[in-house]
Structure 1
Amino acid sequence: MSDTPANVLVEIHTHALAGMLNVPRHFARWAAVAADEDYPDADLSEELFRTCLVDGDEALRALWSRHLTAWDFAEDPQWALAIPARTDERRTAVYDRLRFGSDLRKALDDAVPVAKIPGPTVITRDFTPWYTPERAAARSFYWTSYEQKLRAKGWSDAAIASLDEASRAVVERLTDPEQLTARQAKGLVVGYVQSGKTANFTGVTAKAIDAGYRLVIVLGGTLNLLRAQTQRRLDMELIGQENILRGADITDLDSLVGVDYVGDDDADWDEFVRHGARPSVLGAFDIERLTTRDNDYKSLAQGIRALEFEKREPTRPLHDPANLHHAAARILVVKKNKSVLSKLVKDLKQIHGLLGELPALIIDDESDQASVNTLDPKKWEQGSTERTAINGLLSQLLKLLPRAQYVGYTATPFANVFVDPGDDEDIFPSDFLISLPRPSGYMGAQDFHDLDSAIPRHERTYANSQEKAHIRDICESTGDRLQEAIDAFVLSGALKLYRADHGVDDGPFRHHTMLAHQSVRKDDHADLALRVNSMWHQAGYSSAAGHERLAALWASDFAAVSDARASDLPAPASYEELRPYVNVARQRIGSGGQPVIVVNGDSDRYFDQLNLDFDRTPHVWKILVGGTKLSRGFTVEGLTITYYRRTTQQADTLMQMGRWFGFRPGYRDLVRLYIGREEPFGRNRYADLYEAYEAICRDEETFREQLGQYAVVVDGQPQITPMQVPPLVAQHLPWIRPSARNKMFNAELVEIRSPGRPIEPASYPENNAALKRNTERWRPLLDSLSAGPATFTNPPDDSTSLTRTFEALTGTISHRDLVSVLSQLEWERPGHFDPHLTYLSQLDGTLARVDDWLLISPRLAASKRIEARVLGSLPLSLVRRTRQAGKTSFGRIASVEHRTAAQRLIDAARSSAEAHPGGSTGIGAKTGVALLYPVVEGDSHSDVQAVVRNGSADPSKIVMAFTLIPPTSAVSADRRLVRFRAKSSRYASEATIASGSS
């Protein structure tokens, strides 16, 4: 390093920060000490520091980015107790301890903004803390190596710190591997579909083996292709070259026989982690692989010795620190296959005495697939538990390894949380459930839906609407659009090539794929593949007509979307500029005369002959046609265009089919989803596949949101434990269950407390007589409505610059009168509203006090309004809603504008006893808001007119639908939000047992 002022500064700062030992201290003093010997005359002024930052000195910025980010993310450090991580307040506390001036603080904030990203949500039962920062830092060989690898791959400091935090949250809830008494912990980690869960469990593995776990079993899917992908990932990013070579000379071909990856066997061998020498030579410990990329676990040729551990102190157990930290770790990546797991169980049974001393970690990827016991308990023999094959073998592993910890990973947790919590030998996550934050740069379900958008549909554009940018409907009015989807695949490939040729990193463009998925039947796959092939060869991509068609699609779709969403990326000024890249894309896709690959086999041999190994194949530019085999675990790299028409009756299956979710760096704007709308589904009803995704997306986000609420510790105790999670799983679509029926364990939610949060029932009666009775019950409260409408105003938000107003009839009703009505209402599903009613019934002073409710009956715009009296009431604005296909519910009742206005009233009242936001109506701190809608079921304006005669609505044709928002004060002193009953085989003699109470 040359002795320029900037380079000198970097060297001094590096030593000063290292000397602080991860605690921010008076920086000027530490810098002076670091400069004393080598650079006594160095300029250590804040002015030079600030100037170097402003001038963009990358080395200095990188140094401070690592340290500031680490301090921003630090979990409850002694130097910043009670100051939340990843906040401006935490950063200010850091600067205060460093004694930095305001100008330098601003420069650092500009260079390293606070990463205000959420941390993991943790539902846990009490555990004994053991994985302290000091202990983690004392032994961190493999974690440090993994962290360096991620940094070399381009991970940001914030992304690494987030992974560090999330993986630590898992490891600290495992049992201390040095602990004298054996104890198993079981947990579940919930990520998003295609969101990088492998990175988390690789981090967990690194930290766990550093801490002392010496046998790691990774269950890596049901196909060898998936298992091999996981094996290679661990080998490349964690295990490393030296452990793979095991002393073999890389220059001696004879010594490399049987060693995978080296030579021409893997083009990315140079990208595998290098430790510098065998870790055992460097003072750490080696990792011995008992599986390789091409070989799953086999009965050990060399006998049981490969699973035996040498003890430095033979008289002490293996888990004693004197032995544990000198022993090599063993890692296996195995399929969820009966034959493979049986061999492993058989070998372990032959190791006498040692297994009780061996700290082991079982990581179950896609843990809701194959691992869950799906046998009907009602059919078991009296007093016995019968298990499916994989579940039974997992149970045997857990019995053989009393110090084993089980951690399942999935994006669809419903099957796992419905496992019998009373079965100690099963995989119910009894100790912790961790929901990972949505990663930066990830495209998930909400990136393809306009959830709760306040922007009217006719005002939505490519810039403000996810649906308009990425969704292309397949329905009766549009035709099947398959040719257009194939054209879009060619165009998006050409745009990737153009960007790569104009300075954009082409790493993410290595693979370019399209997925066509419309049936589970193999005959249908063959027909679709034949049709796609025919379309491809008749498309005329090298003809004038073909280019004219592509030019039109580019101008009407891709150019406009990219201009709105990726204006910072290079773009062709005309189709003629793009045309040469179209020709190259066509050649890549059609190479070998075959643009289509059918993916629907069941065997490893089938997948081996497909040549679809994205890791080992330089470029995969193909259209994939398939069914279920493309919907779980199989990562379709470079997926840009999806043509999707298949439905299912299970929410977790539907989400796992969402292969279009994932990371799309450099080409988010090019992603298109051609998806079925209004597809026929049973009983002559219609199920909109796109709307079904939106519904389960809402359910998933609600589940995560509730977990976040209940994860808040109250008086040092968790509000809920994993055993109490099952009732949080929603099922709003009767035809889409959370999981397969044979994976669901019953649990009953007794009470839901919703202070300051909307309550909106979803199961109104369909029977006309019941509707009339419900309407009659509401009638007395309608007299409270005043004749003169009030005006409500919602200010502009991030999605629109418009101020929106609406009118409504309003009135005040007592809490007792409202509860009296609610307690008499009938529902299509008996008991549907009971958990909310239990809560509301206590708000007369038993739980907390609610004095009254502001009743709001919104009026539609004059051009859309049909008013009618309801059993003699004032004229009310009737609203039209349609029950979604296959449901008893209407989806959302309250409009976004109305609900926003109601929420603003509640939020304002939280801080002011008499608030008057944006309108003539204000409420007190003990007043709730009730939005009331006389709903007419129908598809058109005429359906509403049909229920009105002489200015009055037919009460048997009206659904009195409502949304309630209790005041924020409507919660007890203990602040608990839920109360449960859960069934458990441990209490088989009782119908239900209390699992949590207020």
Structure 2
Amino acid sequence: MGKADMTDALLAVHAEVLNGMKASPRHFEKFAVLTAEEDFPGTDLGEETFRARLVEEALTGGPLFTLWSRSLTAWDFAEESPWALATAPRTDERRTAAYDRLRFGADLRKVLDAAIPVAHTAGATVIAKEHTPWYTAERASARSFYWRAYESKLRDKGWSEASIAGLDEASRAVVERLCDPEQRAVRQAKGLVVGYVQSGKTANFTGVIAKALDAGYRLVIVLGGTLNLLRAQTQRRLDMELIGQENILRGADPTDLDSLVGIDYVGDDTDWPQFVQHGGRPSAQRAFDIERLTTREKDYKSLDQGIRTLEFEKREPTLPLHDPANLHHAAARVMVVKKNKLVLEKLVKDLKQVHGVLGELPALIIDDESDQASVNTSNPEKWQKGATERTAINKLISQLLQLLPRAQYIGYTATPFANVFVDPGDAQDIFPSDFLISLPRPEGYMGVQDFHDLDSTLKGAERTVANSQQKAHVRGIRSGTGDRLQEAMDSFVVTGALKLFRADRGIPDGPFRHHTMLVHQSVRTNDHAELALRINSMWHQAGYTSTEGHARLAALWAADFAPVSSARAADLPNPVSYDELRPYVSRARQLIGAGGNAVVIVNGDTDKYFEQLDLDFDRTPHVWKILVGGTKLSRGFTVEGLTVTYYRRTARQADTLMQMGRWFGFRPGYRDLVRLYIGREEQLTKKTTVDLYEAFEAICQDEELFRQQLAQYAELVDGKPQVTPSQVPPLVGQHLPWIKPSARNKMFNAELVEVRSPGKPIEPAAYPTDSASLRRNTERWRPLLEAFSSQRTPVAYPAGPTGASRTFPALTASVSHAELLSVLSGLEWAREGIFRPHLRYLAQLDGRLATVDDWLLIAPQAVQDDRVEASVLGSVPLSLARRSRQEGKSSFSRIAGVEHKKAALQMIEVAALESDRSPVVGARTGVALIYPVVEGTEEADVRAAVSRGNADPAKVVMAFTLIPPKSAIDSSRRLVRFQAKDSRNEDDAIVSATSVE
């Protein structure tokens, strides 16, 4: 047998052995030897040969490397199994458990780890009611025709094995919360899946549809946007990646033009060869066909023969459709419909004509952008007593759910607050009563973390394009310094040239097919026309072919793009001089100005309007344009190739503002080129100026906190959920007063009774504003203030990922838990009850819940020259902190400094670990950061509160941040307790939800 044959034999042996190990890894050499002896005698199975082949193929993605990448990743992501020895998925411990089962030596493990590293990614977070498990691994594997086709398509698109495995896991988490389509009992499940803005939610629900169809769901209704362009994009995506050519053709001969009349894609879509191919009609392969009730061009229309179209043949006529004997032989129906009143009315009308089978039909409703149009926003105060009045789309979705008693409803959104504020007592509404799933941040996604320096402790002068996301990607627009619009447009031309430069040097040009700039400044259409005219004039006057124009671009490239790309994309082709880039500037200018106009206005309300724009990114070969618009650019409409954004529009709702973040998304091959020009001083009202960049950071922090809390509460306690979806609304926070989580008419009242925060910061912000209350609060702090000595102590905090530490000076003191609780219990607050949920928790740390012995008080001391120090009620001199309240509100935007909080958290963390590091505090000691705060940002504000070295207690806010020890929790590990209003208990002002006693 020659060398080539030996190589093929090695691959064949490994493939056969790994195919038998899908459920769990086993002694590889043992089974490989048996396989080789029987089928491939003489094959070299030595470890050295295996390692050498892996090292070689890791560079090219060869078949043996691909085989092992798929298997190892599957084991890494597998749910808990006996072989995994209780190791968590996607951890080094899980990989080690697999190696141990395979009996691999240390050298081979090193090679595999280097070639196929463990994907240390987060899984989906699930908040759900208890459910009866039905979607087992065995059942999913036994029926997986469409999921395998979709999985194969994703590989063809270049998805990594880790990304596919992550999607497999996340989509399974959704499907297993649905009802078993084979079950006799009639029940609906309603859920919500929360992703990130432009983060691939469609990929998840395509995976969910594939698995749901395989499992037995036979009618899928996708509510896909409010415009036909958006609906058609979703339809094409499903057709291309899931439904496939054979189901689209329905037996037509693709070579016979006459038989193709009326069939979309064939002949007019250049991507038709890339549409999934099943190798023949699925029904001929012991699977089932899919019949499309909508097409790319046609939304749902009244069926000529509605009953026949939705008529399902039963193999066993005496048994219901949902019986396995019938279900898995029946064809499925899929439709993608617009969230439009007339369209949905036609669908409801047709379903009403179908009798009998609807009660037996397992159906799935996917509601994309479910917080848009679907939520009932009618005013309850105007309802007639005992009657719920619904807005049009909400009413029609409710009717669909009533007509399809076995339908499961899943909403998808990146901005979930409107959905979780739906009344849980309204059984006919879309509240996600059964599950709420937060998807992990996908690999390669550019989100808030890539535009904001969240929790960075680096000072302004220390931040560079290499260590600061803001320095690299954000360009602020401030009043008095020009609007920078010309610079933004120049950046668009330069980045286009850089993309062409990279495409010429081997970088795949797929991500560079489209190149766009977005200008979003107003919601008024008249403003759009005026702005577009201005930009168009600027374009023609920019002189991109002149010496002056090239000099301007050269300066911009040298000052901005060259240093950023050098620091963040050194592995990609980058020009060494502008002269090298200059030829591509000419080509970029031509592409942008093609057709005589570089600017496209996007603000219409009709399908006809969008059709004439020629902005179908799927069907148009190249879109290189500057898009000017408002709301229509902020929801659902994916702006492909978006590289430069110019954004100056304000909004008062967090979900509205967040949906405008079109600069979030996937930017393969050009992450370093992305630029955000954003208003730093924009008018909200005649009297109020806001910082849009800070606003985005605040609402992103709101959403991240929401996700973090979901993750914290998702852990089961004694096999039962800590919270259910109906208890989620109180977790919604708000960082800025002028940005509400959602519109007021989408929110209902809920009260958080108790928050347990072991090892987590407690930072109240709503302190009193009147001088009398401030004085009383300061007086209550007197016993603890007297505990401080004048001796300054250096407190260490981690400065960065390198592990290096820095210090800040502080005064410290130790007080008992009873002493601190006595002070906290007597404090007054601007909003009644705001601190009560935390105080209830702290009050239990005297041995009832757990024991906290004492608290380390830390009063950080300023070192800058303009610091102000003063005695507070006879205390040693303390540094007075400057903080500002949010405009029109009692709450401060923040209390603790980033470095101070990091130091306190590190103390708590070290104390909880059994390590050689000497803990600063004990395992039953909490840390309290204390700040005597004077309102205002100027030195004069602080000095006005001080007289002869003494601070006026009526002008000082005694603010604090508490971090209880990690041990401050009982064996139940419950973290929250709720009370909430519920329409099912209208007579009760506040009704108790699940008890945690």
Give TM class, smaller chain.
over 0.9
Partner deviation per Cα, 1:361-412 (whole Å, 9 max, x = no partner):
0000000111111112222111111111111111111111110000100001
SS in 2 for 1:762: coil
Match of 1:978 in 2: 976
Determine the structure 2 residue equivalent to 1:906.
908
CA-CA distance at 1:773 after TM superposition: 2.4
- Post-superposition Cα deviations, 1:761-809, rounded to whole Å, max 9, x if no partner, equal 12222333332222222122100111212221224531x6753111111
Structure 1 pair 801–543 and aligned structure 2 pair: CA distance change class (3 A)? farther
Aligned to 2:36: 35
Secondary structure of the equivalent of 1:55? helix
**Deviations 1:21-54 (Å, cap 9, x if unpaired)?**
4321111121122212332111111121112112
2:825 aligned with 1:823: yes
Distance verdict in 2 for CA 1:579–1:914, change over 3 Å: closer
Letter in 1 for 2:871: R
1:224 CA drift (Å): 0.5
Aligned partner (choices 246, 252, 257) of residue 248 of structure 1: 252
Structure 1 contact 856–931 (Cα < 8 Å) conserved: yes
Whether the 8 Å contact between 1:687 and 1:885 is mirrored in structure 2 is: no
Confirm or deny that 1:480 pairs with 2:480.
no
TM-score normalised by length of structure 2: 0.98
Conserved in 2, the CA contact under 8 Å of 1:914 and 1:923? no
- The 5 A counterparts of 1:921-932 are 922-932=920-930
The AA in structure 2 aligned to 1:899 is K
Separation in 1, partners of 2:205, 2:670:
27
Asked whether 1:177 is paired with 2:181, we answer: yes
Cα distance in 1, alignment partners of residues 614 and 124 from structure 2: 37
> One-letter code of the match for 1:838?
R
Q: What amino acid maps onto 2:415 in structure 1?
A: T
Alignment of 1:568-583 (within 5 A): 568-583=571-586
| Other-structure match for 2:767 | 764
- For residue 845 of structure 1, report the CA deviation from its aligned partner: 2.0
Corresponding residue for residue 865 of structure 2: 863
Structure 2 Cα separation of the partners of residues 152 and 795 of structure 1: 43
> What's the offset of the Cα at 1:134?
0.6
Question: Which residue identity is paired with 2:234?
Answer: T
Write the deviation string for residues 841-889 of structure 1: whole angstroms up to 9, x where unpaired. Answer: 2212222222221111111115343211112211001111223445433
Structure 1 contact 878–936 (Cα < 8 Å) conserved: yes
Whole-angstrom distance in 2 between the partners of 1:789 and 1:741:
48
Equivalent pair of 2:851/2:968 in contact (CA under 8 Å): yes
**Mean Cα deviation higher: 822-831 or 175-184:** 822-831
Q: Any stretches of 5+ residues in structure 2 without a counterpart?
A: none
Between the aligned partners of 1:912 and 1:227, the Cα distance in structure 2 is 56
Equivalent residue for 2:276, pick from 250, 273, 278: 273
Q: Distance in 2 between matches of 1:486 and 1:889?
A: 39
Contact 2:786–2:874 (Cα < 8 Å) also in 1: no
Indicate the residue corresponding to 1:153 in structure 2. Answer: 157
Work out the CA distance in 2 between the residues paired with 1:172 and 1:648: 38
- Distance across 2 between alignment mates of 1:130 and 1:822: 49
1:934 corresponds to which of 927, 932, 936: 932
Q: Aligned residue for 2:752?
A: 749
Asked if the contact 1:914/1:925 (under 8 Å) is kept, the reply is no
**1:686–1:885: 8 Å Cα contact kept in structure 2?**
no
Separation of aligned partners in 1, 2:749 and 2:537: 50
* Whole-Å separation in 1 of the counterparts to 2:179 and 2:447: 34
Q: From the superposition, tell whether residues 862 and 584 of structure 1 become closer, same or farther in structure 2 (CA, over 3 Å).
A: closer
User: What CA distance in whole angstroms lies between the structure 1 residues aligned with 2:377 and 2:897?
Assistant: 41
Q: Is the 8 A contact 2:844 2:850 kept in 1?
A: yes
**Counterpart residue type for residue 105 of structure 2:** G
Written as runs of structure 1 = structure 2, the 5 A alignment for 1:430-469 is 430-469=433-472
Contact residue 187 and residue 407 of structure 1 kept, 8 A: yes
Q: Distance in 1 between matches of 2:613 and 2:915?
A: 68
In 1: Cα distance, 2:916 partner to 2:80 partner:
38
Question: For 1:337 and 1:949, how far apart are their aligned partners in 2?
Answer: 67
Partner of 1:854: 856
Tell whether the 8 Å contact from 1:752 to 1:978 is kept in structure 2 after alignment: yes
Deviates more, 1:417-426 or 1:194-203: 417-426
Deviation at residue 907 of structure 1 after TM alignment: 1.5
TM-score by length of 1: 0.98
Could you tell me whether the CA contact under 8 Å between 1:243 and 1:288 is conserved in 2?
yes
The share of aligned pairs that are identical, in percent, is 71
Residue 916 (structure 1) shift = 4.1
Partner of 2:19: 18
Q: Give the distance between the partners of 1:796 and 1:737, measured in 2 at CA.
A: 33
1:611 aligns with 2:611: no
C-alpha separation in 2, matches of 1:441 and 1:795: 27
Query: In structure 1, what is the Cα distance between the partners aligned to 2:915 and 2:618?
Result: 62
The corresponding residue for 2:792 is 789
Residue 225 of structure 1 is matched in structure 2 by: 229
SS at match of 2:242: helix
Supply the distance in 1 between the matched residues of 2:41 and 2:606 (Cα, whole angstroms). 69
Q: How does 1:197-346 map to 2 (within 5 A)?
A: 197-263=201-267, 265-346=268-349
Deviates more, 1:78-87 or 1:405-414: 78-87
Closer, same or farther in 2 for the Cα pair 1:819/1:452, shift >3 Å? same
| SS of 1:674 mapped into structure 2 | strand
Check the 8 A contact 2:122/2:440 in 1, yes or no.
yes
The alignment of Structure 1 onto Structure 2 pairs a total of residues equal to 992
Post-superposition Cα deviations, 1:601-641, rounded to whole Å, max 9, x if no partner, equal: 11111111111100000000000000001111000000000
Alpha-carbon distance in 2 for matches of 1:602, 1:502: 42
Contact preservation (8 Å) 2:521, 2:648: yes
Correspondence 1:880-891 to 2 at 5 A? 880-891=882-893
- Which letter maps to 1:681? L
The 3 A distance-change label for structure 1 pair 105 and 906 is: same
CA distance in 1, matches of 2:912, 2:42: 58
Say yes or no: does 1:80 pair with 2:81. Answer: no
Partner-residue secondary structure (3-state), 1:754? coil
**SS class of match (2:721):** coil
Deviates more, 1:954-963 or 1:595-604: 954-963
Q: Match for 1:956: what amino acid?
A: A
Deviates more, 1:333-342 or 1:807-816: 807-816
Gaps of 5+ in 1: none
Per the alignment, residue 186 of structure 1 pairs with: 190
Instruction: Compute the displacement of 1:914 (Å).
Output: 12
Counterparts in 2 of 1:795 and 1:992: CA distance versus 1, 3 Å: closer
Deviation at 1:479, TM superposition (A): 1.4
1:122 maps to what in 2? Answer: 126
Q: Deviations over 1:206-245 (max 9, x none)?
A: 0000000000000001110100000000000000011001
Contact 1:735–1:887 (Cα < 8 Å) also in 2:
no
Contact 1:297 1:332 in 2 (8 A): yes
Match of 1:808 among 796, 810, 814: 810
Assess if the C-alpha contact under 8 Å between 1:759 and 1:963 holds in 2.
yes
Does residue 422 of structure 1 match 2:425?
yes
Please, which moves more after superposition, 883-892 or 589-598? 883-892
Quick one: which amino acid aligns to residue 8 of structure 2?
N
Q: Aligned partners of 1:39 and 1:144: how far apart in 2?
A: 29
| Alpha-carbon distance in structure 2 between the residues aligned to 1:962 and 1:904 | 18
SS in 1 for 2:934: strand
Question: Is 1:915–1:923's contact at 8 Å kept on the other side of the alignment?
Answer: no
Task: Please give the secondary structure, in 1, of the residue aligned with 2:865.
Answer: helix
Verify: 1:53 aligned to 2:54, yes or no. Answer: yes
- The residue type equivalent to 2:855 in the other structure is W
Partner of 2:661: 658
Deviations 1:499-542 (CA, angstroms, capped at 9, x unpaired)? 00111111000000000001111111111111111111111111
Tell me which amino acid in the other structure corresponds to 2:986: A
Query: What secondary structure sits across from 1:56 in the alignment?
Result: helix
Q: Secondary structure at the match of 1:164?
A: helix
Question: Offset of 1:832 from its aligned partner?
Answer: 1.6
- AA at the equivalent of 1:965: I
Task: Give, as a single letter, the amino acid of the residue that structure 1 aligns with 2:131.
Answer: F
Q: Is 2:736–2:893's contact at 8 Å kept on the other side of the alignment?
A: no
Give the Cα–Cα distance (whole angstroms) in 2 for the partners of residues 68 and 801 of structure 1. 31
Tell me, yes or no, if structure 1 residue 621 matches structure 2 residue 619: no
